[in-house]
Structure 1
Amino acid sequence: MSILTILLNLLLPPLAVFLKHGIGTTFLISVLLTLLGWLPGVVHAFYVNGTE
């Protein structure tokens, strides 16, 4: 995982997921979790981008 991906995971989780996986179910889940709270979005982004 690159430094850019780590920074995007922390600052803008949906953008990080979008750049790796495009628009789809994973992106929508990331948006919803980020809207519910910043931390769930960050955890999801790290999980999704870390498991490839």
Structure 2
Amino acid sequence: MMTPNCPRCASPLDEGPIVYRCAHCRRTVYAADLNNEYVPRTPATAGASR
């Protein structure tokens, strides 16, 4: 899983999972305000064309 980044300064956020904190700019960010949704990989197609 990737570490979410601060929307203000793009530094990695710590703590969580409900409230994150940026150590660089000292901003508190709620997880609901971040764009960190799970996106599954697309499955490989069986019998791919040659």
| TM-score, length basis structure 2 | 0.23
The structure with more helix, counted as a fraction of residues? 1
The structure with more strand, counted as a fraction of residues? 2
| TM-score, length basis structure 1 | 0.23
Larger Rg: 2
